[in-house]
């Protein structure tokens, strides 16, 4: 599998690290990062963005959403090419127009977790080649419905925000004089364990929540304080705001 990457920032680095065995051709922008990836993961660095497009039938777009479409519109794609965009908030219609006559696809992934082949990816519409690539990076969710994909894509922000939550919790333990290594591992292992419960248990979410809450116990106390402060409801408000930004009018 040979894939060209336009935009070599943090996301591109994570994907290259996770997709072992893929031949990558990188755009020359962010030259230092491209050069380091070329050395550490045997990637090729093209002379220009157009050269990436010319050399590869599959092109992955990791450009900043604010400027990415304009850059794509300045490139010449060909019939038979496949272009997958990981730019948050760029509509499928706009992407299709920018890369015509190539075929367009949209993807979303957390990034850092993909470097460890542990992060889920979304793909719209489905495609066997892009699914095979994304499967190297973690679980793949294929969507046939555009609106469902757009809603699910908010998880890109949710994933990043969850890192801030984990850091916040770890620092609470550190303030209580627990050593930093133990605090970090305790928080990470707890969330990983609970994630496995959701993935493996046949019980519904409400049933699981009841099962971990003893009436009058410490979980009920903690959740009660969070509810009183609006901490849980604030996640709804924040994710609604992200969806409205990514999909105006939704």
Token pair recorded at residue 152 = 């699910």
Indicate if 91 and 192 belong to the same structural domain. no
Final residue of a structural domain among 153, 171, 198: 153
Given the DSSP bridges, would you call strands 103-108 and 121-124 parallel, antiparallel or unpaired?
Answer: antiparallel
Q: pLDDT by residue (tens digit) across 8-65?
A: 999 999 999 999 999 999 999 766 888 899 999 999 999 999 999 999 999 999 999 8
Q: How far apart are CA 134 and CA 121, in angstroms?
A: 7
Contact 75, 52 (CB under 8 A): no
**Average pLDDT of the chain?**
96
3-state secondary structure of 234: helix
> Which residues have CB under 8 Å from 203's CB, separation 6+?
211
Provide the H-helix boundaries in 153-204. Answer: 155-175, 180-200
Q: How far apart are CA 239 and CA 236, in angstroms?
A: 5
Indicate if 107 and 10 belong to the same structural domain. yes
Helix (H) or strand (E) holding 21: none
Q: What is the CATH number of the domain that holds 166?
A: 1.10.3730.10
Q: What confidence score (pLDDT) does residue 93 get?
A: 94
Q: What confidence score (pLDDT) does residue 30 get?
A: 65
Q: pLDDT by residue (tens digit) across 55-95?
A: 999 999 999 988 999 999 999 999 999 999 999 989 999 99
Q: pLDDT by residue (tens digit) across 114-148?
A: 999 999 999 999 999 999 999 999 999 999 999 99
Q: How far apart are CA 41 and CA 91, in angstroms?
A: 32
Indicate if 116 and 239 belong to the same structural domain. no
3-state secondary structure of 81: coil
The tally of domains found in the chain comes to 2
Query: How crowded is the C-beta side of 126, counted as CA atoms within 13 Å?
Result: 7
Rounded to 10 degrees, the C-alpha dihedral 137/25/125/103 comes to -170
Intra-chain end-to-end CA distance of the chain, in Å:
37
Q: How far apart are CA 83 and CA 104, in angstroms?
A: 5
Indicate if 161 and 189 belong to the same structural domain. yes
Indicate if 162 and 133 belong to the same structural domain. no
Q: pLDDT by residue (tens digit) across 223-249?
A: 999 999 999 999 999 999 999 999 987
Greatest extent of the chain over all pairs of C-alpha atoms, in Å: 65
Q: What confidence score (pLDDT) does residue 248 get?
A: 87
Indicate if 116 and 167 belong to the same structural domain. no
Indicate if 89 and 176 belong to the same structural domain. no
Domain containing residue 135 = 2-153
pLDDT of 161 above 80: yes
Q: What confidence score (pLDDT) does residue 33 get?
A: 86
Q: What confidence score (pLDDT) does residue 149 get?
A: 97
Final residue of a structural domain among 153, 188, 214: 153
């Amino acid at each position: 599998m040979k894939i060209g990457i336009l935009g070599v920032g943090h996301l591109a680095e994570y994907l290259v690290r996770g997709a072992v065995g893929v031949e990558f051709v990188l755009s020359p922008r962010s030259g230092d990062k491209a050069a380091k990836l070329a050395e550490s993961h045997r990637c090729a660095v093209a002379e220009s963005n157009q050269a990436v497009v010319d050399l590869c039938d599959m092109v992955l777009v990791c450009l900043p959403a604010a400027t990415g479409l304009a850059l794509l519109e300045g490139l010449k794609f060909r019939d038979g090419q496949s272009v997958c965009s990981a730019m948050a908030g760029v509509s499928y219609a706009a992407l299709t127009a920018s890369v015509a006559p190539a075929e367009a696809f949209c993807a979303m992934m957390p990034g850092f977790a993909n470097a460890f082949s542990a992060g889920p990816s979304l793909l719209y519409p489905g495609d066997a080649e892009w699914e095979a690539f994304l499967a190297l990076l973690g679980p793949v969710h294929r969507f046939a419905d555009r609106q469902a994909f757009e809603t699910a894509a908010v998880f890109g922000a949710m994933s990043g925000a969850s890192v801030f939550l984990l850091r916040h919790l770890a620092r609470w333990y550190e303030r209580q004089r627990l050593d930093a290594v133990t605090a970090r591992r305790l928080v990470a292992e707890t969330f990983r364990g609970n994630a496995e419960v959701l993935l493996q248990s046949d019980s519904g979410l409400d049933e699981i929540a009841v099962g971990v809450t003893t009436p009058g116990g410490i979980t009920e106390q903690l959740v009660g304080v969070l509810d009183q402060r609006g901490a849980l409801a604030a996640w709804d408000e924040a994710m609604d705001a992200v969806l409205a930004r990514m999909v105006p009018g939704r």
